[in-house]
Structure 1
Amino acid sequence: MTLPRPSRPGRRAAVAGALAGLGLAACSGGGPGGSGASSAPPERTGAEPADAPTPSVEPAGRVADVGYAPEGLVRDPATGLLALGVRRPDRLLVLDPRTLAVRRSVPVPGSVRHLGLATGGGTVLVPNEGDDTLLEVDVRTGATRSTAVGHVPHDAAGAADGDLLVADEFSGSLSVVREGRVVHTFDDLAQPGGVVAVGRFAVVVDVRDWTLTSYDLDTLRRVARVPAGDGPTHAVLAAPGRVAVADTRGGRLLVFDVDPLRQVAALDLGDSPYGLAADPDAATVWVTRTAANEVVGVDVGGDTPRVLDRYPTVRQPNTVAVAPGSRVLWVASRTDGVLQRIAR
């Protein structure tokens, strides 16, 4: 889920250590013998992408240098342009999808981790973990709007009615943003990671509780919560009314129907699946296997998911984007500072 950033090494380790310490203190408070310690279940923690090895084969397609630690990648459906976060300095790059040339560079006030899109495109959503804000960036002009949200916003998505959904990782909440202000907060999550808008529903991966939760955005109530593997991280709209979840620690791609919320399928992939992108009309999900430097295309439209294609990628493929209806996808390498374009 949250990969430690170069500027803040060990932040997650410190948090996890503090939480583990609290759990140990609670278990051992019964006096000599510590009889409660052995009965306490192990604490659940958020999964991380694997540390990728040096690629053993050449990556498919073409590769271009883009900047330091590129992560967070989306294709804007309104313009066809790509948006990608880089660091040193922190920027959002707007790129030509064919040549990978930079069209625009927008300074941002913190390191980019994940990106989302407003409904209909044209606006890229940048959760800024460093200062607890959501930044909306106009792809065409570079104009921005910043909204204060919860603590360490990790992911964002645009809802059908124009509202924006922000998963606030370390405040255990989901913020609903409208026209530059938070209009509602769901606060019953442990550690939200990926968020997806599906019609009137918001669907959130809880990386510490290992669950998937749906909320009705009309009634502003929680609808359902179901188990989601052994260490899920992110989710994507995979087909109408259906989402796919990367069970990163469990090595699987999980498929859920949203209404009602229930798991309908799973596919063993291994090698730490993490980055997700989808062509919902084709019911195809692209998932990166970070331990194998590979991206895999999966058909999730039927009862049983099946692998369609596999391509070797650049090293540490944490992020992938796809052009729905086309045969082109892009993969960013967080370690090597490059962007890969694959024309299938």
Structure 2
Amino acid sequence: MRRAALLLPLALVLTACSGSDGGGEPTESARAAEPADSPELTTDPEGTVVDLDPDAEGMVFDPVTGLLAVAVRDPNRLVLTDADGVTQAEIELPGHARHLQLAAPGGPVLVPAEDSNTLVQVALPGGEVTETMVGDNPHDAAQVASGQILVGDEMGGTLSVVTDGEVTQTFDSQTQPGGVATVGDVAGVVDVGAFSITTYDVAAGELQTVLDAGDGPTHLVADSQGRFLVADTRGDAMLVYGSDPLELESTYELFGNPYGLAYDSTDQVVWVTLTATNEVVGLSTAGDELTEVARFPTVRQPNTVAVDPTTGRVFVGSRETGQLQLIDPR
């Protein structure tokens, strides 16, 4: 269904089973990993910090329109700002979101509205909305080369394939799907309940390969070399997987509970937020192995990061304060 956007110009977690007696709570190592509870700041954040909105979590920057999309709450909205953090429009959402992606440069923004079981597609720059009912608690979504969208339904343990605004296929091969990223028609999905990564040929409707993915993976992005970069949040590492075939190529130790990810395709740098230390780290993906090229102090509770591949500007959102941080590393 389509509905008009509200434009304001300015200007429970499922857990993996532990033990064999079926009783008691799962141990910490058996639960899906979460960002650390960030400590109080001891260093001023790098760059510029502007006030945004409560519970800012989930961001993506569109280089075509120059708009940053940020999911906020109370009430649930998608806030569109310019590259300086000045709000341009706000779009009502049917539920809260924690992760955003672009279907393609120029949009739309893919917004999994978790507590409404809805995938919301928000056109840019106008904010027109298309809603599709998917599975239980959609957490992340990404579009493959064929134009189909794969949605990870975290609480339902399913993946919904959305074609032209309708669910056309459902995979039930996941325990608790988390992050989703794509290389061509292949989607990589992190199962945060099973601590694994799975690839799917979405256009063919086929599951390909399942591999272990560390001690507590959460999110992933794809790089310019067609690899999947996975944040092992509990294991304090970044895992690099080749996608064809799926295989673990390298492990990069990264202390601080790595969580939020954004990829700069121009500089070939993946930006990673460290929620235990209030930092964001830039890792070059140009070689066979990751190498650190930048590190900056951030706002508190930096669960979310985005990047403008044209200018290199990095955006960090604070779930704790609702602030937006702007960093210019180039």
TM-score by length of 2: 0.91
Give the Å deviation of 1:303.
2.3
Question: For the Cα contact (< 8 Å) 1:205–1:235, is it kept in 2?
Answer: yes
Q: For 1:171, what is the secondary structure of its paired residue? A: coil
Q: For 1:83, what is the secondary structure of its paired residue? A: strand
**Do residues 77 (structure 1) and 74 (structure 2) align?**
no
Question: For the Cα contact (< 8 Å) 1:54–1:315, is it kept in 2?
Answer: yes
Aligned CA RMSD, in angstroms, stands at: 2.0
Determine the C-alpha separation between the residues in 1 that align with 2:139 and 2:236: 22
Name the CA shift for 1:311/1:230 in 2 (closer, same or farther; >3 Å).
same
Determine the C-alpha separation between the residues in 2 that align with 1:231 and 1:43: 8
**Do residues 324 (structure 1) and 324 (structure 2) align?**
no
116, 139, 164: which one pairs with 2:101? 116
Determine the C-alpha separation between the residues in 2 that align with 1:185 and 1:301: 35
Structure 1 residues without counterparts, runs of 5 or longer? 1-10, 28-39
Q: Which residue of 1 aligns with 2:3?
A: none
Give the Å deviation of 1:122.
2.0
Q: Which residue of 2 aligns with 1:36?
A: none
Give the Å deviation of 1:283.
2.6
Q: Which residue of 2 aligns with 1:339?
A: 324
After superposition, the C-alpha distances for 1:206-248 in whole angstroms (9 at most, x for unaligned) are 0011111001123211111111110000000122311110000
Q: For 1:314, what is the secondary structure of its paired residue? A: coil
Question: For the Cα contact (< 8 Å) 1:239–1:279, is it kept in 2?
Answer: no
Question: For the Cα contact (< 8 Å) 1:255–1:300, is it kept in 2?
Answer: no
**Do residues 246 (structure 1) and 231 (structure 2) align?**
yes
Give the Å deviation of 1:59.
0.3
Q: Which residue of 2 aligns with 1:24?
A: 21
Determine the C-alpha separation between the residues in 1 that align with 2:48 and 2:228: 30
1:143-158 alignment to 2 at 5 Å?
Answer: 143-158=128-143
Q: Which residue of 2 aligns with 1:94?
A: 80
Q: Which residue of 1 aligns with 2:41?
A: 55
271, 296, 299: which one pairs with 2:256? 271
Name the CA shift for 1:78/1:327 in 2 (closer, same or farther; >3 Å).
closer
Determine the C-alpha separation between the residues in 2 that align with 1:317 and 1:102: 20
Determine the C-alpha separation between the residues in 1 that align with 2:30 and 2:122: 35
Q: Which residue of 1 aligns with 2:8?
A: none
**Do residues 230 (structure 1) and 230 (structure 2) align?**
no
Structure 2 residues without counterparts, runs of 5 or longer? 1-11
**Do residues 103 (structure 1) and 88 (structure 2) align?**
yes
Determine the C-alpha separation between the residues in 1 that align with 2:214 and 2:22: 28
**Do residues 297 (structure 1) and 282 (structure 2) align?**
yes
Question: For the Cα contact (< 8 Å) 1:119–1:162, is it kept in 2?
Answer: no
After superposition, the C-alpha distances for 1:248-302 in whole angstroms (9 at most, x for unaligned) are 0000011111001011111111110000001235331100000100000001232
Write the letter of the residue equivalent to 2:60: V
**Do residues 65 (structure 1) and 51 (structure 2) align?**
yes
Determine the C-alpha separation between the residues in 2 that align with 1:82 and 1:25: 46
Q: Which residue of 1 aligns with 2:200?
A: 215
More helix by share: 1
Q: Which moved more, 1:200-209 or 1:218-227?
A: 218-227
Write the letter of the residue equivalent to 1:252: A
Determine the C-alpha separation between the residues in 2 that align with 1:65 and 1:222: 43
Name the CA shift for 1:50/1:328 in 2 (closer, same or farther; >3 Å).
same
Q: Which residue of 2 aligns with 1:4?
A: none
